[in-house]
Chain A
Amino acid sequence: MRIVVPIKQVPETSAVRMDEATGTMIREGVEAIVNPLDLFAIEAALRLRESGGGQVTVISMGPPKAAKALREAIAMGADSGVLLSDKAFAGADTWATGLVLAEAIRQLGPFDLVICGERATDGDTGQVGPGIASFLDLPVATYVSRIVSVADGVARVHRLVEDGYEVLDVDTPAVLTVVKEVADPRLPTLRGKQRAKAADLPVWGAAQLNLPADAVGLAGSPTRVVNIFLPKVARQCEKFPAADEAGIAQAADRVVALLKERALL
């Protein structure tokens, strides 16, 4: 079974701080990690390979330093990685990102599954996975919580929706986007880390993908960010120290009064 896992390098969000004056992100000193939700996609792919044999290839679009994310995936057990990096790719929205990833997947040759994380924790759109499927003209099952089986050209999966789980049969090749429930990601092994260090990571740019420069990156993106601002914090927190019985009673009375006032009881 051949599986491709597109991954993204993201800033560790818990470390993100904002420059209050400019409204921009302070990137210095913020660690770049593999999008945490992509780890579940990598794990799901590795498990399918372990049960049925095959190859897991990770790809990532990003600056040269995104190679580190690919090496981390190889350290977990992925077989190979390709970095999609080109100055022309910069500023891509989800449309232009999906296009580059889909072209790369096409060029990697025949495959059975593309497995994506549900979304990236920085952009938080969840649009790239279904976008890749649309570019490749393939079916996509999103929010997959369980891969029951992949056999005879059919993947049976559970798809998490608002009121339960759909059980779907999807003909392969297909795209799946997975949620955390699908599998617990493993940690990289020492041997894996050594293999990752030595791994040869080809770098493909727009030319290798036969994509014109005006179809990728900012130039190929239908959307534009026109304004960035800090969200207004409208709430004034009324704080109650509740260290003793009287304090607790007073705080609880205030909560009950507020709930009554706002018709929440």
Chain B
Amino acid sequence: MTRPVHEGVWVLAEQAGGRVLGVSHELLARGRSLADKRRTALTAVLIGHNVAPADLAELIERGADRVLVMDSPALEHFLVEPHAACLSHLIREHCPEIVIAAATSTGRTLMPYVAVQVHTGLTADCTVLDIDPASGALLQTRPAIGGNIMATIRTSEHRPQMATVRPHSMRPADRTPGRKGEVLRVSPPEALPAGRMRRVGFIPNKETHPLAAADAVVAVGRGIKKADNIPLAQKLADALDAALGASRDVVDRGWLSYPHQIGLSGKTVTPRLYVGLGVSGSIQHLAGMQTAETIVAVNTDPDAQIFHVADVGIVGNLFDVVPVLVKKINAARSAT
């Protein structure tokens, strides 16, 4: 049996309500760099319904050479079976060498399902993707064992090489107005497996500041002492226009709800600014926030683990420090 030639880098663009999601533009930045190193074309795959043509053109302006679109009313919302049938079909027909998706609720569900269908390897939650100059293989680097070590993984024989990457771990690709490329509409496979799962409703988040996408995060740890003290942290969050997060301890004690939890068993955040208040910095928590661009920590314990990853550490009582911080930040804001 001769092996088909696998060629090209694909990124999975995501859509909601007919609009391409911003995370797709982050993938284009990664995909473009891989495609250039492999001297090959970059394809954005979009599976959905009635996606705005301007958004498809934008995928090209941000680096895609080609956009493959599969459109059907059955594909409007993400449901794993029909979406997997489409992506597996495209992979079998076009034989890409590399397929990357965002580690979102969609990507983390669709990619493992498809990897089994097309019998290939998949690496979750990569923070670095690179091409091995010697072999041309995709080097997939991710934190392992709670972020204590980094592991580089290769898919040796099977193709395509598949990986998911953490959202917000890269800046979106720049836009070059007028950049040329091709939008190719492909019919979904004839028998779309629908029906075994149906979306019957949606309950939108009440939080005004979803944590995972926040540019700034104020997180509280056990040092906040009780639920009644949360408003103090909220004041700082408001001053910084930040979302409020928490360590596992705080959530386990019921001081904040689970959607606030940052860490291995909660959310991974990659904000531009992270401020930890009374957070000791367990491995479990660090794994969920240490990729933040700037880290500020307030803790009474000078040896707290959180200081190992912080840019600025304030060794002191948060109940004394936070009110001063809030005052000075608000003053600096109103001065600009």
Contacts and interface: CB of A to CB of B under 8 A. Distances in A.
A4 interface: no
A163 B204 contact: yes
Interface of B: 16, 77, 80-81, 84, 104-106, 108-117, 119-125, 139-140, 143-158, 195-205, 210, 212-213, 216, 240, 258-259, 261, 264-265, 272-273, 282-284, 287, 293-296, 298, 302, 307-317, 320-321, 324-325, 328-329, 332-333, 336
Interface in A113-146: 121-131, 133-135, 138-143
A253 B80 contact: no
Contacts of A265: 240, 329, 332-333, 336
Given A134-B84, A139-B80, A226-B154, A127 B198 contact: no
Interface string A168-183: 1111001000011100
Classify the interface of chain A: helix, strand, loop or mixed.
mixed
B312 A255 contact: yes
Contact of B313 (A13, A134, A240): A240
Contacts of A221: 121
Nearest to B336: A265
Nearest to A140: B80
A51 interface: no
A228 interface: yes
| 7 A-B pairs with least C-beta separation | A242-B316, A222-B121, A167-B201, A134-B116, A223-B121, A125-B124, A127-B112
Nearest to A253: B328
Contacts of A87: none
Given A251-B321, A258-B294, A13 B210 contact: no
Contact of A228 (B84, B112, B151, B156): B151
Contact of B312 (A129, A134, A233, A240): A240
Given A163-B210, A164-B202, A255-B296, A131 B115 contact: yes
B129 to A, nearest CB: 14
A36 interface: yes
A262 to B, nearest CB: 6
A222 B105 CA distance: 23
B82 to A, nearest CB: 10
B264 A124 contact: yes
Contacts of A160: 105, 259
A253 B265 CA distance: 34
Q: Which of A125, A143, A181, A230 has the most CB of B within 10 A?
A: A125
Contacts of B143: 124, 231
A202 to B, nearest CB: 26
B311 A165 contact: no
Classify the interface of chain B: helix, strand, loop or mixed.
mixed
A240 B324 CA distance: 14
A237 interface: yes
Given A229-B150, A264-B272, A134 B113 contact: yes
Nearest to A171: B196
A135 B112 CA distance: 10
A131 B112 contact: yes
A87 B235 CA distance: 56
A170 B146 CA distance: 33
B125 A125 contact: yes
B324 A222 contact: no
A91 to B, nearest CB: 13
Nearest to A221: B121
B316 A225 contact: no
Contact of A226 (B105, B153, B265, B328): B153
Contact of B197 (A164, A170, A181, A235): A170
Given A160-B259, A239-B302, 13 more contacts: A16-B283, A125-B124, A125-B125, A130-B113, A131-B116, A160-B105, A168-B200, A181-B258, A222-B121, A222-B158, A223-B122, A242-B315, A248-B321
